[in-house]
Structure 1
Amino acid sequence: MITILLHRLLQSFLLPPLNSLIIILLGAFFFKPQKRIGKIIILLGCFSLYIQSTPYFAYQLNRVIAPATIKPSSLKHVQAIVLLGGGVNNNANEYSVNAISSPDTFVRIRYAAYLAKKNPDLPIFVSGGAIDTKDSEASLMKKALIDEFDVENQIYLEPDSKTTSENAKYTSRLLQQYGISRVVLVTSASHMQRAKALFEKSGINVIAAPTGFYSLGYSSLPVLWFIPSALALSTTSAVLHEIYGYLYDIVL
């Protein structure tokens, strides 16, 4: 738990909006002794906050790491579908349960169900442990696949992983126990490059099936692409998180 806390604190400093606020505070620190330098640093911080909040920047940044959609013919030779969790919502009192899958996870579940319906013979391996809840992500995803999408494929759980690295390590171990070495991997588009690389590092051949692509929208009003929004800032944060994670998990 301490490791997770430290991980999230470090994330906060590297991701918006705190990364920009730190620059602004640094400029304020220099403002009195070095007014010109302080002013420049403050302006840089403000600009970085603005640019990271625009839909256009979020979209272009997402395009850098988001792979292409899967081709149906790619599924002919895979042995299983692997679905990765993307968080839970532990404030779901309206459902009278401890927790439900987060919106990001639900997008992944829906696409996995779509692929499963087209490939009913493929087993599904769902991966994700419990961090802030009693129920693992894997168990919640399995429940959603069965109860909400009527998926009839065989479903296996990997309920212990708490990071993408552990998703790959523990799920690969489980896959290999069943003699499975080639899978179609379902996760968010911005998450795919890192997840795919980690699974391949663990000895699994991966066909990427990304979902949850960020859309600019407002094609008839492109001026709105440059108006800051909370969704764009959240998307920028998510993509930067994946870029940093890829550098840490794969490159370093």
Structure 2
Amino acid sequence: MLWVTWMTRGVCAALIATGFVCATAPEGTAEPATPIGVADLHRMLTPTLPGTYGDDTAVVILGYGLTPEGDLRPELVRRLRAGLVQAVFAPWSPIIVTGGNPQAGLSEADAMADWLLAAGVDPARILREPQADSTVANARFTAALMAEHHLRAAVLVTSGDHVDRARAAFDDAGVLVVGELTPDRTLWPVLPLRIDRFGPALPPG
């Protein structure tokens, strides 16, 4: 499947022009052993890219439970990576991190904000909602924060198996949801040349 590798590299090169940084597989890591199917090839050639939004639209990253030590779980890191990509595509949009459920004295929102700051995000862009203990509360408290900052709409960033429930909760809270992004709809799980770094160096996962 050498032609697929070179085609993938061509796609990667095209994405570099838009700001992606394409990372080659670590040394000693083999190319995928299974053939790339038609669906995977279609996904590689027609990627789902984040939308572009203005300063009246918030990028809302939903929390995920921290470890008892207050550390980020892998799924939350995946959400944050997707949220960072969306934030780069929408440089005028504020970023809302929402989640309470503190562990070791740290809320989900504060842990998420710390990760984004370490990734180079301007602190002025980050709005924290550290009280929510459920998806419904995420939506309700985020709606109030958006009203306070005169934000009209939101693009939701969460896990693929959570996005429908999250959208329903935000709809019920009166938030205009204009877009969604989930980690599983990004390119890096499929590409032999992984696209798993974007913009500044990401904090350790």
TM-score, shorter chain, exceeding 0.5? yes
Q: 2:52 aligns with which of 69, 72, 75?
A: 75
The residue that corresponds to 1:145 in the other structure is: 116
Task: Give, as a single letter, the amino acid of the residue that structure 2 aligns with 1:129.
Answer: G
Q: 2:80 aligns with which of 96, 109, 128?
A: 109
- State the 1:113 CA deviation: 0.8
SS of residue in 1 equivalent to 2:91: coil
User: TM-score, length-normalised on structure 2?
Assistant: 0.61
- State the 1:132 CA deviation: 3.9
> Looking at CA atoms only, which structure, 1 or 2, has the larger radius of gyration?
1
The residue that corresponds to 2:65 in the other structure is: 87
Cα pair 1:192 1:208 within 8 Å, conserved: no
SS of residue in 2 equivalent to 1:101: coil
- State the 1:131 CA deviation: 4.1
Deviations along 1:8-37, one digit per CA (max 9) or x if unpaired, are xxxxxxxxxxxxxxxxxxxxxxxxxxxxxx
Task: Give, as a single letter, the amino acid of the residue that structure 1 aligns with 2:172.
Answer: K
Kindly report structure 1 stretches of 4+ aligned residues shifted beyond 6 Å: none
Q: 1:173 aligns with which of 133, 144, 149?
A: 144
Residues 175 and 122 of structure 1: CA distance in aligned 2, closer, same or farther (over 3 Å): same
- State the 1:201 CA deviation: 0.9
The residue that corresponds to 2:43 in the other structure is: none
User: 5+ unaligned residues in a row in structure 2: which ranges?
Assistant: 1-46, 190-205
Distance 1:133 1:163 in 2: 19
Cα pair 1:70 1:209 within 8 Å, conserved: no
Q: 2:97 aligns with which of 119, 122, 126?
A: 126
Distance 1:160 1:133 in 2: 15
Distance 2:83 2:130 in 1: 18
Residue identity over aligned pairs, in percent, reads: 31
Q: 1:155 aligns with which of 110, 116, 126?
A: 126
How many pairs are equivalent? 140
The residue that corresponds to 1:203 in the other structure is: 174
User: TM-score, length-normalised on structure 1?
Assistant: 0.51
Deviations along 1:207-246, one digit per CA (max 9) or x if unpaired, are 33232339xx9xxxxxxxxxxxxxxxxxxxxxxxxxxxxx
Cα pair 2:98 2:128 within 8 Å, conserved: yes
- State the 1:71 CA deviation: 5.1
Cα pair 2:159 2:183 within 8 Å, conserved: yes
Distance 1:89 1:138 in 2: 14
Task: Give, as a single letter, the amino acid of the residue that structure 1 aligns with 2:101.
Answer: A
Task: Give, as a single letter, the amino acid of the residue that structure 2 aligns with 1:209.
Answer: E
